[in-house]
Structure 1
Amino acid sequence: MASQGQIAFDEFGRPFIILRDQENQKRLTGLDAQKSHILAAKAIANTLRTSLGPKGLDKMMVSPDGDVTITNDGATILQQMDVQHEIAKLMVQLSKSQDDEIGDGTTGVVVLAGALLEYAEQLLDRGIHPIRVADGYEMAAHTAIEELERIAETFPVDGDNPEPLIKTAMTTLSSKIVNKCHRQMAEIAVNAIMSVADFERKDVDFELIKVEGKVGGTMEDSLLVKGVIVDKDFSHPQMPKEVRDAKLAILTCPFEPPKPKTKHKLDISSVEDFHKLREYEKEKFDEMVENVKSKGANLVICQWGFDDEANHLLLQKQLPAVRWVGGPEIELIAIATGGRIVPRFEELTSDKLGYAGIVRELSFGTTKDKMLVIEECKNSRAVTIFIRGGNKMIVDEAKRSVHDALCVTRNLIKDGRIVYGGGAAEIAASLSVAKKADEISTLEQYAMRAFADALESIPLALAENSGHAPIQTVAEIKSRQITENNPRLGIDCMFTGSSDMKEQHVIETLLSKKQQILLATQVVKMILKIDDIRAPNDKL
């Protein structure tokens, strides 16, 4: 043992042995390494596979602290999973990329990548080199995207007629926990985007949309506020519950009398001294209040707190105030009301005040929870989506669902083309890739056929999750797409009796579908080209 290890001593003098087994560790290389990578990626994809589609199942994640999250959003599931394998981490990043870029299709992109790797494994077993497989996948992805662009339909994005956008948002929400009121949620999301969208630049600033949730009530109580909601109330219960034509002083300095600094010592030896100090503080505070009122402000939003004495004086001077408003919230209020954030009282001027038509206190629930609503703002483009739900899990999942609906609507404003969901677009792309493979004489044709089969994994998963016989249903739809020349035919997940996704209004954005195929192909190519993993301290 002495030859293999080294004796060391801890701080109490107890001996322990350090074993050197770095040289004895087995490292996977070549085909074994690729098989290991594919196995890890397939494990992740199979976990998400059952969450795909409107009948997909939810996952429950429990954090180390015992917090429970229930969701079927692919990106959220993978972020919460504690994965150790490097390739599994790549799949988590893949889902996150789709979420950041598009916001929708986070489950589909991982399922597709898993299927691509599964079929790639069969090709590797047949002796085809990984680079040839990767090249074939690249060619197939281009063919699939060309087909998607061919079958895509232009979508009317019109601020005066939001109905088509609402139907698209409803497709996204149909697989979420909010599907019992998905029409209402879709309307809220579309109206929020319409309020902040810049149609000339074809862009949407998400910074102007705040999603606020509060436990209590039902999901139907959710609403869109054309302004800002702050989870605070007026600092004194006797202050007015409503301020009209509010001119807001937005302060980041403490609204209270000056305090002696800690390094100074203040001796108060008599009652008179104490009264003098109190009078001085009151006088200074009166000056502060008068200073704010003289500039025309009739409401103060303060980032910091103020004590009860200051609160009482504010009430006496009839100056409503809100305290402890957080940094992001105070910035949003400044953007919405057109005000400037003032760091020192001396800098407050009348042109730095924000304006809101009405600031009112909302009271709801048996607990009489209170929130402030700032409406009719100068910058009417700032909006807040206020979500209610029976418990924290439902509110959190509703927030994630609304985020997806917002992203889909944003994508339609960026690129107003759509394809049909329910696996219709994937089957059409699969048929196109398989046809193209027959025209190619080189080895890449095998990889292209594998790509076509992998594309079918999405409709297969949808059919399986909905309770259909998967292979029979997909084969039937494929056959009908060819004979009827109709790329709108997909899986009837909701058992409506029609496979035409146009009739069912199951719509997905072209941007989302293209991004799914491109991202999945890029990651799979990257994984196929890895034949060894070394840690930084590994010795050759």
Structure 2
Amino acid sequence: MSTLGTLAFDEYGRPFIIIKDQDKKTRLTGIDALKSHIMAAKAVASTLKTSLGPNGLDKMMVDRDGEVTVTNDGATILSMMDVDHQIAKLMVELSKSQDDEIGDGTTGVVVLAGALLEQAEQLLDRGIHPIRISDGYDQAACIATEELDKIAETFPYDPNNTEPLIQTAMTTLGSKVINRCHRQMAEIAVNAILTVADMERKDVDFELIKMEGKVGGKLEDTQLIKGVIVDKEFSHPQMPKVLKDAKIAILTCPFEPPKPKTKHKLDVTSVEDYKALQKYEKEKFEEMIQQVKSNGANLAICQWGFDDEANHLLLQNDLPAVRWVGGPEIELIAIATGGRIVPRFCELTPEKLGTAGLVKEISFGTTKDHMLVIMECKNTRAVTIFIRGGNKMIIEEAKRALHDALCVIRNLVKDNRVVYGGGASEIACALAVNQAADKCPSLEQYAMRAFADALEVIPMALAENSGLNPIQTMTEVRAKQVRENNPFLGIDCLHKNTNDMKQQHVIETLIGKKQQILLATQVVKMILKIDDIRSPGETED
């Protein structure tokens, strides 16, 4: 009872419990609770609104260790923000789920959720019940997704004509830091996906695409390597730097004489014993080297290290080796070269060796940094995107941008229907929802109109970030869409003198846009249903 509170009796002898620390707890109920949620969500959405679109601004995030990240990727910004409010945390999870499922549109989904809640606040002030609002939003989301299906176009793609895929990737990369060479980056992303994609199953295994970055050089030096890059070098500087027709032994067992697994103690009492032990170790190691060579291997890649004496013996016996290669890289090398990972020396056979046409060590500028490139592999489906850049921040942002582009192309491989961006599909959906609201006889029509207004926040944000007058631009485009009955008209963010997004090649995937609307609506419905918050309140230090 004492953990819950104290038991007391009133003047008639009836028991009641005085709950512990009740005075320190805070409680918000009803409309106040909803207002508190909406305010937190609006604060998060307003942070991201300026990052939307090709002219969106970047955010600089500094963590506790002083590590700086510059990005305009919604999911990255939110994951690095130190958020305390519970509803703001929901918005962070919202962008993460969009990122996990689609990979792109993480900023837009949060801005849309914030706009929906902002519109809901006005409806609440007019006395409409939150459940009626969420029902109206639900109906409007169904109408919006149906409209997207109507205006979507099937996208022709085949491995011989990659231009449409490159245009889509360029739309995604247009809003990133790397947009000055986004044509080249888009081509790299498309080639990587088409190399790895399983067209029969319409699936792409991201495990086969590795991104490796190296500071130095410029972004234009970024390249796609059909093979694997490992941030290691040959274990001895005198080993050959280039190996042709390599037969690779991939070892996860230590390359050293075996030691008993049990606890053991060895007494060496004389010089002869010590020399005998040294001789035994050397013979055993040479035997291991001969075993690797007799199986036909001319390169050993080890997960573990070996000492300098062993390294010297490897050089003497003409067996180049690489040590301390990490687990994921070992797996990728095995997939690429068609080899098998060998956990014990006694299991090494010629069939388990991987093959590669060329293994070479590359160096960079005047630095002593070296990397190992394994090319012309047996399985050409393993690729590495090798990113160069002036500093670590640019390389990290390029990795995030390329990840978004890869995800978008993968989505097109899975479902090749597209809608047009630049706010065109949002305006078309808003018009369809408004028309449906006029026919709705019940109170939900107010919520449906509010949903349409919220959808228009995205094209307005695009116009504002591009230095245009948001309301004027938005109304002109909307009137033009209605007049010409053309759902492809959007905001001319890049000032190309045409509002037709089809001509500008601003393309977005249908599943990405649908997911944005459905996820945002789900989260808003959930927030609107919360009417009571009990929190521990301020603790006394």
TM over 0.5: yes
Which whole-Å CA distance do the structure 2 matches of 1:406 and 1:322 have between them? 31
1:473 aligns with 2:473: yes
In the TM superposition, what are the counterparts of 1:372-383 in structure 2 within 5 Å?
Answer: 372-383=372-383
Identify the residue that residue 177 of structure 1 maps to in structure 2. 177
What's the offset of the Cα at 1:25? 2.9
Which whole-Å CA distance do the structure 1 matches of 2:515 and 2:72 have between them? 20
Which whole-Å CA distance do the structure 2 matches of 1:259 and 1:198 have between them? 45
Identify the residue that residue 201 of structure 1 maps to in structure 2. 201
In the TM superposition, what are the counterparts of 1:32-111 in structure 2 within 5 Å?
Answer: 32-111=32-111
Identify the residue that residue 15 of structure 1 maps to in structure 2. none
What's the offset of the Cα at 1:265? 3.2
Which whole-Å CA distance do the structure 1 matches of 2:311 and 2:215 have between them? 29
**Percent identity, aligned pairs only?**
76
TM-score, length of structure 1 as denominator length = 0.94
1:191 aligns with 2:191: yes
Identify the residue that residue 528 of structure 2 maps to in structure 1. 528
User: How many aligned positions are there?
Assistant: 521
Question: What SS does structure 1 have at the residue aligned with 2:356?
Answer: strand
What's the offset of the Cα at 1:359? 1.1
Question: What SS does structure 2 have at the residue aligned with 1:534?
Answer: strand
Which whole-Å CA distance do the structure 2 matches of 1:394 and 1:95 have between them? 22
1:415 aligns with 2:415: yes
In the TM superposition, what are the counterparts of 1:433-472 in structure 2 within 5 Å?
Answer: 433-472=433-472
Which whole-Å CA distance do the structure 1 matches of 2:355 and 2:160 have between them? 28
Identify the residue that residue 153 of structure 2 maps to in structure 1. 153
CA contact under 8 A between 2:25 and 2:534: conserved in structure 1?
A: no
Which whole-Å CA distance do the structure 2 matches of 1:288 and 1:477 have between them? 74
What's the offset of the Cα at 1:240? 0.9
Which whole-Å CA distance do the structure 1 matches of 2:162 and 2:26 have between them? 60
Question: What SS does structure 2 have at the residue aligned with 1:245?
Answer: strand
CA contact under 8 A between 2:26 and 2:534: conserved in structure 1?
A: no
What's the offset of the Cα at 1:258? 3.4
Q: Over aligned residue pairs, what C-alpha RMSD do you find?
A: 1.7
Which whole-Å CA distance do the structure 2 matches of 1:61 and 1:417 have between them? 36
Question: What SS does structure 1 have at the residue aligned with 2:534?
Answer: coil
| Larger deviation, residues 338-347 vs 266-275 | 266-275
Equivalent residue letter for 1:154: T
What's the offset of the Cα at 1:259? 4.8
Equivalent residue letter for 1:64: R
CA contact under 8 A between 2:28 and 2:534: conserved in structure 1?
A: no
What's the offset of the Cα at 1:536? 9.3
What's the offset of the Cα at 1:262? 8.8
What's the offset of the Cα at 1:261? 7.2
1:238 aligns with 2:220: no
1:50-76 superposed Cα distances (whole Å, 9 cap, x missing partner): 000011010111111111111000000
1:126-158 superposed Cα distances (whole Å, 9 cap, x missing partner): 111111100100110111111111111111111
Which whole-Å CA distance do the structure 2 matches of 1:287 and 1:353 have between them? 18
1:375-407 superposed Cα distances (whole Å, 9 cap, x missing partner): 111211111111111111111000000000000
What's the offset of the Cα at 1:229? 0.7
What's the offset of the Cα at 1:186? 0.4
In the TM superposition, what are the counterparts of 1:243-262 in structure 2 within 5 Å?
Answer: 243-259=243-259
Equivalent residue letter for 1:460: M
1:455-514 superposed Cα distances (whole Å, 9 cap, x missing partner): 000000000011000000000000000101111111111111111111111111111100
| Larger deviation, residues 352-361 vs 265-274 | 265-274
What's the offset of the Cα at 1:369? 1.7
What's the offset of the Cα at 1:408? 0.5
In the TM superposition, what are the counterparts of 1:312-331 in structure 2 within 5 Å?
Answer: 312-331=312-331
Question: What SS does structure 2 have at the residue aligned with 1:171?
Answer: helix
What's the offset of the Cα at 1:273? 2.9
Identify the residue that residue 357 of structure 1 maps to in structure 2. 357
What's the offset of the Cα at 1:271? 3.5
In the TM superposition, what are the counterparts of 1:102-181 in structure 2 within 5 Å?
Answer: 102-181=102-181
Equivalent residue letter for 2:47: T
Which whole-Å CA distance do the structure 2 matches of 1:534 and 1:380 have between them? 57
What's the offset of the Cα at 1:274? 2.8
Query: Quick one: structure 1 residues 179 and 227, their matched pair in 2 at CA, closer, same or farther if it must change by over 3 Å?
Result: same
| Larger deviation, residues 496-505 vs 92-101 | 496-505
Question: What SS does structure 2 have at the residue aligned with 1:356?
Answer: strand
What's the offset of the Cα at 1:263? 4.2
Equivalent residue letter for 2:452: A
1:344-393 superposed Cα distances (whole Å, 9 cap, x missing partner): 10111111111111111111222042111111112111111111111111
Which whole-Å CA distance do the structure 2 matches of 1:239 and 1:470 have between them? 64
What's the offset of the Cα at 1:20? 6.3
Structure 2 residue ranges without an equivalent (≥5): 7-18
Question: What SS does structure 1 have at the residue aligned with 2:108?
Answer: helix
Which whole-Å CA distance do the structure 2 matches of 1:358 and 1:113 have between them? 51
What's the offset of the Cα at 1:269? 4.1
Identify the residue that residue 404 of structure 1 maps to in structure 2. 404
Equivalent residue letter for 1:384: T
Which whole-Å CA distance do the structure 1 matches of 2:266 and 2:260 have between them? 8
Equivalent residue letter for 1:75: A
Which whole-Å CA distance do the structure 2 matches of 1:534 and 1:248 have between them? 62
Identify the residue that residue 498 of structure 2 maps to in structure 1. 498
Which whole-Å CA distance do the structure 2 matches of 1:33 and 1:267 have between them? 75
Identify the residue that residue 9 of structure 1 maps to in structure 2. none
1:23 aligns with 2:2: no
Question: What SS does structure 1 have at the residue aligned with 2:26?
Answer: coil
Equivalent residue letter for 1:96: K
Which whole-Å CA distance do the structure 2 matches of 1:214 and 1:363 have between them? 11
Which whole-Å CA distance do the structure 2 matches of 1:335 and 1:287 have between them? 28
CA contact under 8 A between 2:229 and 2:372: conserved in structure 1?
A: yes
Which whole-Å CA distance do the structure 2 matches of 1:26 and 1:374 have between them? 61
Question: What SS does structure 1 have at the residue aligned with 2:387?
Answer: strand
1:344 aligns with 2:358: no
Structure 1: which 4+ aligned runs deviate by more than 4 Å? 259-263
| Larger deviation, residues 247-256 vs 467-476 | 247-256
Which whole-Å CA distance do the structure 2 matches of 1:201 and 1:342 have between them? 30
Question: What SS does structure 1 have at the residue aligned with 2:255?
Answer: coil
Which whole-Å CA distance do the structure 1 matches of 2:91 and 2:525 have between them? 13
